[in-house]
Amino acid sequence: MLRAGSRSVTYLPNLRAVINRVRPLTVINGPTNSTGNQSAFAPAEEDYYNDFGKTDRDKPLGIIVGGDSSSSLSSRKLDIKMRQLLLNGSKHEFLQNPIDAQAKLQKIMNNAPKDEAKPVKTVSVYTQTTKSPEEIKQAPVGSVECIVQQVPSYYHQSFMELFPSIRCEVGDLNVLTLCQRSKLDSSVYSEDMALEREQLLKNFISASMEIVSKLISAGYWANFIDPASGRAFLGTYCNNTFYETDERYRHLGFKIEDLGCCKAIIHRFWGTNVFVGSIFTDAPIDSPLLKNIFTEDVSKN
């Protein structure tokens, strides 16, 4: 395992796989052990999401292990409300009425428990995927590179200006970057390319809403940038933006190329065949919800 700071990278087949991994250590109602604690682990990933955007509602939801039971129950109730909004058919209503959808999610977020204890912050571990560069270059269309890293201190204030109503200390702001591999070159305009990017945008917003809801229901703050507007999807409106071709992406592991008429973001393996979006949170990189995204890769090192 490589150790070089607060950064983790992994590659997954699609965004659904990322969503399924963003979860804490959970248990479900079942046999108890000799101490009286619940011992049956939660269902596997496919039990939660049978397909992207669908869930088996008859399956019991996981309960966060540890801490006060009333806090766990509060989180579970909040999680249920969010799942109802995001998964029960209304998940895509933001495509037709984004303002109404944002207002509904914001209302649920405002009711998030504020007194839940967060895990003690520890030194994060740098984790690099075990896949070879050649394997990554040959990844099929729809594959996702997932990077979570600490926002550089010299850009902390700049990024916080995207969320004017939020306070976060330097070193506590992390960014989860989701890169979807596209079929078409994003630097060469065509009607097909525009249609593909529109679909990738919808995929990113859908996935981000679910990931953000999970982080918030666990007691953290989280928000994501709408790639179409460059602004925070939730919260107070402001003029500050963070587009896909923003120069700050250079400090998050990408290149920005000036094509004269426009700019393009360049992925180290997929070039301009990529769609990039970012989620911001104060959840520690080594918190269970984020760490689990990279568990499989870490276990192989």
User: Is the residue at 1 inside a domain?
Assistant: no
Read off the pLDDT of residues 207-265 as tens digits, 9 standing for 90 and up: 999 999 999 999 999 999 999 999 999 988 899 999 999 999 999 999 999 988 889 99
Global pTM reads 0.70
CA–CA separation, 224 vs 211, rounded Å? 10
- Split into its structural domains, the chain has a count of 1
Say what percent of the chain tops pLDDT 90.
54
Lowest mean pLDDT among 63-72, 108-117, 190-199, 265-274: 63-72
pLDDT band (50, 70, 90) for residue 72: very low
CA–CA separation, 86 vs 80, rounded Å? 10
Residue 211 domain boundaries: 7-299
User: Is the residue at 2 inside a domain?
Assistant: no
Q: Are 94 and 201 in contact (CB under 8 A)?
A: no
User: Is the residue at 96 inside a domain?
Assistant: yes
Read off the pLDDT of residues 162-216 as tens digits, 9 standing for 90 and up: 999 999 999 999 999 999 999 999 999 999 999 999 999 999 999 999 999 999 9
Lowest mean pLDDT among 48-52, 74-78, 81-85, 191-195: 48-52
Task: Tell me which residue of 192, 174, 173 sits closest to 183, measured CA to CA.
Answer: 192
- The encoded tokens of residue 290 equal 């984020």
pLDDT score, position 294: 84
Q: Which residue has the tokens 């591999």?
A: 181
Task: Tell me which residue of 189, 180, 184 sits closest to 52, measured CA to CA.
Answer: 180
